Amino acid sequence: MSDDCKRLFHRDGQPAELLIAGAHVLDPRTGLDEPRDILIRDGAVAELGEPGSLEAPENGDTLDADGIHAFPGFVDPHVHLRTPGQEYKEDLETGTAAAAAGGFCAVIAMPNTDPVVDDASVLRALTEAAGRQASVPVGFLAAITRNLKGKELTEMAELRDAGALGFTDDGKPVVHAGTLRKALQYQRLCGGVVALHEEDPGLSGEGAMHEGAVSARLGIAGIPSLAESTMIARDAALAAYEDARVHFQHLSCVESVEALEQAKSKGIRVSAEVCPHHLTLTDDMVRTLDSRFKMNPPLRAERDRRALVCALRSGLIDCVATDHAPHASHEKEVPFEQAPMGTTGLETAFAALFTELVLPGELELEVVVERLSAGAALYGLPVPRIEPGQPANLCLVDLDARFDVGANGYFSRSDNCCFHGRMLQGKVLLTLAAGTVAFRERMRAHAPAVS
């Protein structure tokens, strides 16, 4: 997907001039896992040197990063920035501030806004706005079908020319196989990954949570795992037949992992993402009936969670995505069945994975770091590396620092975080995105949200 079209949008910032002194650099792609001085000049990594060997640039600060880790910046291939139309939940500024606070140096926004991003004029307005408001580069997916109705295709070629990274009807499945098949055929003309929210509505019905022992106890209609996995199997077959490139969004269950494995073993061009909440929480949390635990796909059983962790470690699942889905508190402060689906996740992704998976020994730190930026390559974006000559896309993280999630509010406009109130370890201190300082710990973007 090498083309000249601009596909990431952010406001111009001052190129960073900075010496990061003695940070422990962990970059799984370059293989570096040692303390280094990192010299940032004019927004790029100028030099890496032994600790104490490099000097600060003339006009720049020195950050003492002894005992602090430096990772390639994270890339989130799945966020909802709610713009246009639902700015009371999130906008480009608050959403990218949340991303930066989570160590992300790029995010990919979903098109299920109001209006839907199904038309080049909507997309152009959005990319222009991102050019003024986004502190972190944002890529945009456009809808596969007009108004996400699953019927008529959008003008995919024009949308690609207007900067669309790819296509998705996320939030909804493309129910009719014939419609998806045409989109996959059309992909040969316009390129762009087709990303799929997999859910058979005939099976998910009115479901509000995972179907299992907990839904039986609560009397809440369940969404069976196979609502997802059968659609993955179907769409992998379509991708094979049309030799198309598809990406499966937010896998949630063991049956989907099996369907993905089968597709990949046949050489079908598929990839997949998984969310921190599905890797760390189960439907047991829904017993609280706290609507922060309501998302789609739903939190599933422990066996599903384990299968997802294994698949992420092996690389069968390619990357982590947050599915950051902000909702206003008045929308979430209703009985569970009435609440909208979604959890925020940008500000907690790394800490949740580090605390719940790395510390207990379920997953290695370098795997988490690699998978948190692997989404970039899937959409043809450059993958952040801490290497001389590369633009500065990195984050500094204190792996010993603990924080009470939400205690000081959120950078996101919404507070519907499923990790709210948890003590997590692994705090992002600084994020450099596209060569500028997008986040620095001591600065707060706005006052704490009232919960």
Partner 1 sequence: MNRIGRHLLSIDDLDRSSIERILDRAESFDEVSGREIKKVPALRGRTIVNLFYESSTRTSSSFELAAKRLSADVVSIRSQGSAVDKGESLKDTVQTLSAYDPAAIVIRSPHAGAAGLVARWTPAAVINAGDGKREHPTQALLDVFTLRRRLGSLDGANIWIVGDVLHSRVARSNILAFTQMGATVTVCGPPTLIPREIEALGCESTSTLDNLGDADVVYVLRMQHERMRDSFVPSLREYADRYQITTARLHPGQLLMHPGPVNRGVELSGEAIDSPQALIGAQVRAGVAVRMAVLYELLVGAPSLAAVA
| Residues touching partner 1, count (CB under 8 A) | 19
> Using CB under 8 A, which of 289, 310, 399, 445 touches partner 1?
289
Query: Are residues 434 and 137 in contact, defined by beta-carbon separation less than 8 angstroms?
Result: yes
* Peptide linkage before 297 cis (omega within 30 of 0): yes
Query: Are residues 143 and 197 in contact, defined by beta-carbon separation less than 8 angstroms?
Result: no
Q: How many whole angstroms separate alpha carbon 332 and alpha carbon 339?
A: 5
Asked if 410 touches partner 1 (CB under 8 A), the answer is no
Of these residues, 76, 119, 283, 323, which one is catalytic? 323
Cβ 338 to partner 1, closest distance in Å? Answer: 6
Q: How many CB atoms lie within 10 A of CB 448?
A: 12
Instruction: Indicate the residue among 314 and 338 with the shorter CB distance to partner 1.
Output: 338
Cβ 220 to partner 1, closest distance in Å? Answer: 5
Residue 151, strand partner residues: none
Of the candidate spans 114-122, 148-156, 205-213, 375-383, the one that interacts with partner 1 by CB under 8 A turns out to be 205-213
> Using CB under 8 A, which of 72, 103, 207, 222 touches partner 1?
222
Query: Are residues 8 and 75 in contact, defined by beta-carbon separation less than 8 angstroms?
Result: no
Asked if 212 touches partner 1 (CB under 8 A), the answer is yes
Asked if 335 touches partner 1 (CB under 8 A), the answer is yes
Instruction: Indicate the residue among 186 and 293 with the shorter CB distance to partner 1.
Output: 293
Q: Which residues contact 308 (CB under 8 A, 6 or more apart)?
A: 251, 252, 253, 254, 257, 274, 278, 279, 317
- Give me the phi and psi of 430, to 5 degrees please: -155, 140
CA gyration radius, the chain: 21
Of the candidate spans 182-190, 211-219, 241-249, 341-349, the one that interacts with partner 1 by CB under 8 A turns out to be 211-219
Cβ 290 to partner 1, closest distance in Å? Answer: 9
Asked if 293 touches partner 1 (CB under 8 A), the answer is no
Instruction: Indicate the residue among 78 and 89 with the shorter CB distance to partner 1.
Output: 89
Asked if 213 touches partner 1 (CB under 8 A), the answer is yes
Of the candidate spans 174-182, 213-221, 400-408, 443-451, the one that interacts with partner 1 by CB under 8 A turns out to be 213-221
Query: Are residues 195 and 168 in contact, defined by beta-carbon separation less than 8 angstroms?
Result: yes
Q: How many whole angstroms separate alpha carbon 162 and alpha carbon 66?
A: 44
In sign, the C-alpha dihedral spanning 292, 315, 24, 396 is negative
Q: How many whole angstroms separate alpha carbon 368 and alpha carbon 32?
A: 15
Asked if 66 touches partner 1 (CB under 8 A), the answer is no
User: Which residues from 367-396 bind partner 1, rule CB under 8 A?
Assistant: none
Asked if 338 touches partner 1 (CB under 8 A), the answer is yes
Residue 323 appears among annotated catalytic residues: yes
Instruction: Indicate the residue among 28 and 212 with the shorter CB distance to partner 1.
Output: 212
Identify the CA nearest to 79 among candidates 435, 289, 419, 343. 343
Of the candidate spans 118-126, 207-215, 272-280, 415-423, the one that interacts with partner 1 by CB under 8 A turns out to be 207-215
- Give me the phi and psi of 193, to 5 degrees please: -65, 140
Q: How many whole angstroms separate alpha carbon 352 and alpha carbon 305?
A: 14
> Using CB under 8 A, which of 215, 355, 393, 431 touches partner 1?
215
Asked if 216 touches partner 1 (CB under 8 A), the answer is yes
Cβ 291 to partner 1, closest distance in Å? Answer: 9
Q: How many whole angstroms separate alpha carbon 29 and alpha carbon 369?
A: 10
The CA distances from residue 178 to 34, 134, 169, in Å, are 52, 37, 15
Of the candidate spans 38-46, 313-321, 332-340, 435-443, the one that interacts with partner 1 by CB under 8 A turns out to be 332-340
Cβ 244 to partner 1, closest distance in Å? Answer: 35
List residues binding partner 1 (CB under 8 A). Answer: 211-213, 215-220, 222, 224, 289, 330, 333-338
- Catalytic residues, by residue number, are 323
